[in-house]
Amino acid sequence: MKSLKIFEEVYSKEVIDKNFSRREALTKGLGFGLKAALAAIPFGILDVLNNKANATPDNPTIVGILNFALTLEYLESTFYTTGLNTSGLIPSSDVKVMMQISKHETAHVAVLKQTITSLSGTPVAQPNFDFTAGGAFSDVFTNYQTFLALSNAFEDTGVRAYKGQAAGLLGTGAVLTAALDIHSVEARHASEVRRLRGLKGWISNAEANGLPAAIYAGEDNTTEGTIAVGTITTAPAVSITEAFDEPLTMAQVLAIAGPFIKS
């Protein structure tokens, strides 16, 4: 029960604090630390991510990565389904976009479950979500701008999450290709949602545009491999940061997504 104790200590101090304002939530709430976020993930999910729930998967590492992806897709698909089912939330001008995104996220859930099963793994069960993140986004389904902001957050995080797992799927052939084929769709979504928010479709520097800084940490990188890109191109510095999306580790992603996963 060591994890539970961490959960109580950290979460009670930092998240359930009555004085934890919306502003604080926006600026640091989702990036309040890996320890807290990991503790906030329901134990069942951590077990699956650690493959304790998979008796004999063909490849535990691959199944773990796919269950991690499945968890994010559950989050996204539930988010859009809930939004589309909330009368008066999404303006009619944007419904076609949200329906298309929702269709894809629901399909991603099915594809990942199928792939995990085909590898003799066990797909993680769908968690219960709290899209207010403990009240930090209490108007997520009544204020469209909040909904759009979280959509932006989930899509950009999704892009970084898949990117961070690509190397872990090296040599898996069709599984890697499927992950890449989802990854680029998340990027199409991200671009469109950002544009709906009046932003560029791409990420300039590490600009968070009102979202938690953790989501964009490292996006201002301008060194690829050993090459300082600014020294070998005429493209402006900000364009270099836009031209390369950066990965997040599984732990970084869980720190961002954790507060939305209730149980």
Query: Can you give the binding site for other proteins, defined by CB under 8 A?
Result: 93-94, 96-97, 99-101, 103-108, 110-111, 159, 162-163, 166-167, 170, 172-174, 176-178, 180-192, 195-196, 200-202, 224-225, 227, 229, 232-236, 239-240, 242-247
CA distance 132 to 141: 9
Residue 4: burial class (beta carbons within 10 Å; 0-12, 13-18, 19+): exposed
CA 96, CA 169: separation in Å to the nearest integer? Answer: 33
In whole angstroms, the minimum distance from the beta carbon of 195 to other proteins comes to 6
Give, in order, the Cα–Cα distances in Å from 245 to each of 50, 144, 201, 214, 223: 27, 27, 12, 14, 12
Residue 197 Cβ, how far from other proteins at the closest point, in Å? 13
Shortest distance, CB of residue 263 to other proteins, whole angstroms?
A: 26
For the CB of residue 52, give the shortest distance to other proteins in the complex, in Å: 26
Is 56 or 92 the residue whose CB approaches other proteins more closely? 92
Alpha-carbon torsion 115, 121, 124, 125, what sign? positive
Shorter beta-carbon distance to other proteins: residue 37 or 75? 75
Nearest by Cα to 155 from 101, 209, 89, 213? 101
Return the C-alpha torsion angle 99, 100, 101, 106, nearest 10. Answer: 80
The least distance separating other proteins from the CB of residue 161, rounded to whole angstroms, comes to 11
Residue 31 CB, nearest approach to other proteins (Å):
21
User: Closer to other proteins at the Cβ: 41 or 62?
Assistant: 62
**Distance between CA atoms of 6 and 215, rounded to whole angstroms?**
23
Contact (CB, 8 A) for 30 and 215: yes
Closest to other proteins by CB, 23 vs 103, is: 103
Tell me the CA end-to-end span of the chain in Å, nearest whole number. 16
C-beta of 35 vs 195, nearer to other proteins: 195
DSSP code for 134: T
Do residues 123 and 70 make contact, with C-beta atoms less than 8 angstroms apart? yes
Nearer to other proteins by Cβ, of 163 and 252: the residue is 163
Residue with Cβ nearer other proteins (27 or 59): 59
Task: Give the shortest CB-208-to-other proteins separation in angstroms.
Answer: 17
